[in-house]
Amino acid sequence: MELPRRLSAARAAEIRRRISRPPAHWSLLAFIACVLVLVAVVQGLTEESVGQSRTPASDARSPLAGSDPVLTGEAGRLRSRRLPPKRVALTYDDGPDPVWTPRIARALRRLRVPATFFLVGSHVVEHPTVVRNLRREGFELGNHTFTHADVFGMSQMMRRLQLDATENAIAGAAGVRPRLFRPPYSSGPEAITPGQERALARMTGEGHVVVLSDRDGRDWDPGRSSAAIARSAVGGRSRASVILLHDGGGERARTLAALPRIVRGLRARGYRFVAVSDLLGVRRAAVDVPTTGWERLRGRLLIAALTAAHWLTTILMALLAPIAVLILLRAAFVVTLAHRHARKRRALPSDSSFTPSASIVVPAFNEAVVIERAVRSFVASDYPELRWSSSTTDRRTAQRASSRHSASSRCA
């Protein structure tokens, strides 16, 4: 009974050694697997936009009912800025879009109308050149979260992550850190609840200016024509300061077609188009703060890392189908050959006296456990024509295993 105990002790020691010092290829595989999982998680978290645009219904009990739509922080509280009359800012949400944002920007330049674009960070990562061009053409940039997330339904940490990641992406793409922020799924101040007011107060306390709207073009509604969008944006006799439109999140041909009517309609009523910074009476650099070299580099690294993650997951997804097909083909091939082999074996005449010479070849390299098992199997076999041969490249290991087995056999 000495032999099994000694062998199992040797095997346990080998297993312990393998766990504490795994072979290099296992460490490499584990590292690659960890990287791929991390890339997939990052990709999943950053690339998916959450939900579609909509405008919440107004609430008569809102603490901000009757306020102007641009909010700043003062002594830990939200403060609605009194906006100048007959000045209106056009704002576009949910971009950048590679098709519609440049077209809308071109139409705005032709009409000599400034505008502010509230950008979704994950789209900035995909289309940094569009953002760079917007900045170069003189448009203001704002933060609209990284994944178009409802900032009122998440923890403060996640909220900060959404805003910081977008800020970094815009810094990398255009060299500015936007201070203007618009929460997704927001509309006018009258729709803000007391809980949302507290969350907005925290954001303004961190240096952001919250830009809501007091006129909604309702271009997120797919059933509305360009004329209807223009009518909603121009509105009736009530005062307009900030108009909400969209350059991303879908096909924006109707929004683009409505623009000349909106501009004509509001100019006819004596309005002048300005940027949000003009409404606030501050310089452009106060709302789009130029970045330092390190901030810009950090933003570019973020864009590069997320772009690499995007391509890596795209390639992996593309490879998934051919790999699955190859596995199925291999399985079918093995089953076919096994079936054929079994049929051939059954067809052979059975002769119990037929005992050809056989060899056991042990593929061993520093594998004491494998050699031990082979030796044990060899000794236990009653096959008459069995001969021992070893392919080991480490003869000392084989000799050690053989001598250990001989010693064990003598003990037994």
To the nearest whole angstrom, how small is the minimum distance from the Cβ of residue 320 to Zn ion? Answer: 32
Our finding on whether 184 is near Zn ion (CB under 5 A) is yes
In whole angstroms, what is the distance from residue 226 CA to residue 230 CA? 6
Pairing type for strands 180-181 and 176-178 reads unpaired
Of 49 and 313, nearer to Zn ion (C-beta) is: 49
Q: Does residue number 145 form part of the binding site for Zn ion (CB under 5 A)?
A: no
Nearer to Zn ion by Cβ, of 255 and 291: the residue is: 255
Note whether 408 and 368 are within 8 A (CB). Answer: no
The site map against Zn ion for 356-375 (x = CB under 5 A) is: --------------------
Question: Cβ contacts of residue 54 below 8 Å, gap of 6+?
Answer: 185, 220
C-beta separation of 123 from 72 below 8 A: no
Q: Is residue 246 among the annotated active site residues?
A: yes
Nearer to Zn ion, 93 or 278 (CB): 93
| Helix (DSSP H) and strand (DSSP E) numbers for the chain | 14, 14
**Which span (149-157, 177-185, 283-291, 346-354) binds Zn ion, by CB under 5 A?**
177-185
Task: Write the interaction track for Zn ion spanning residues 87-126; mark x where CB under 5 A is met and - where it is not.
Answer: ------xx--------------------------------
Element housing 362 (H / E)? strand 358-362
Q: For residue 92, which phi and psi values (nearest 5 degrees)?
A: -120, 135
Q: Provide, rounded to whole angstroms, the least separation between the CB of residue 39 and Zn ion.
A: 27
Shortest distance in whole angstroms from residue 231 CB to Zn ion = 21
Q: Which residues contact 209 (CB under 8 A, 6 or more apart)?
A: 70, 71, 72, 179, 180, 181, 276, 280, 287
Task: Specify whether the CB–CB gap between 309 and 43 falls below 8 A.
Answer: yes
Find the catalytic residue in 127, 148, 208, 246.
246
3-state DSSP assignment of residue 73: strand
Q: How many residues bind Zn ion (CB under 5 A)?
A: 4
Q: Rg for the chain (alpha carbons), in Å?
A: 35
From CA 173, how far away is CA 165, in angstroms rounded?
12
Please pick, among 68, 93, 94, 97, the residue that the annotation labels catalytic. Answer: 93
Question: Contact letters (x/-) for Zn ion, 47-66, by CB under 5 A?
Answer: ------x-------------
Least distance (Å) between residue 54 CB and Zn ion: 9
Annotated active-site residue 382? The verdict is: no
User: Which residues, numbered 381-410, are part of the site for Zn ion (CB under 5 A)?
Assistant: none
How far apart are CB 32 and Zn ion at their closest, in Å? 37
Q: Which residues are catalytic?
A: 93, 246
Interacting residue ranges for Zn ion, rule: CB under 5 A: 53, 93-94, 184
